[in-house]
Amino acid sequence: MYHALLFFHVLAGFFLVSGVVVYSAFALGSPVNRATRLVAESLWGIGALGTIVLGIWLALNRPEYDLLDGWIIAALVLWVLAMGSGAQASRGMKAEGEDAAIAVDRRTLFAHWMRVVYVVLLLLVMVWKPGA
C-alpha cells in the first residue's frame, strides 16, 4: 500500500510541476489558447489535490512520520503559499482568443514566479526532509 501511495504522490507532484512549466511558458510570452490553458489548469489542479491528499495519507500511514514533523509542516506551509500565488497568477493569465499572446501585468508575473519558488522549495523539502 505504501509504495502505491508514494507512486501516486510523486505522480501528482509531476503533474503539479508540469502545470507550473506550462504557466511559465505563458509568463515568458507564449500564446495562450483555451485548450493549453485547460491542460495547465488540469495539471495544476490534479497535482495540487493529489499532493496534499496523498501526502497527508502517507504521513498518517507511516509510523515514522508525524504530521507535526518540521519538514511536513514546512511542506504544508509551502503548499498553501504555492496555491495562493498560483490562484492569483492563474486569474491573470486568461486566454483572450485563439492563440492570443497576452500582456501579463507585473503582479501576475510576480505571483507566478513566487509560485515557481514555492514549488521548488516544496520539492527540496520533500527530497531532503530537513529535520527528519
d(CA 103, CA 99): 13
Res 125: pLDDT: 96
d(CA 56, CA 48): 12
Tens of each residue's pLDDT in the chain, 132 residues: 899 999 999 999 999 999 999 999 999 988 888 888 899 999 999 999 999 999 999 999 999 889 999 999 999 999 999 999 999 998 888 766 555 666 678 999 999 999 999 999 999 999 999 877
pTM for the full predicted model: 0.90
Domain boundaries of the chain, sorted by first residue: 2-128
Res 132: pLDDT: 75
Q: Are 71 and 125 in contact (CB under 8 A)?
A: yes
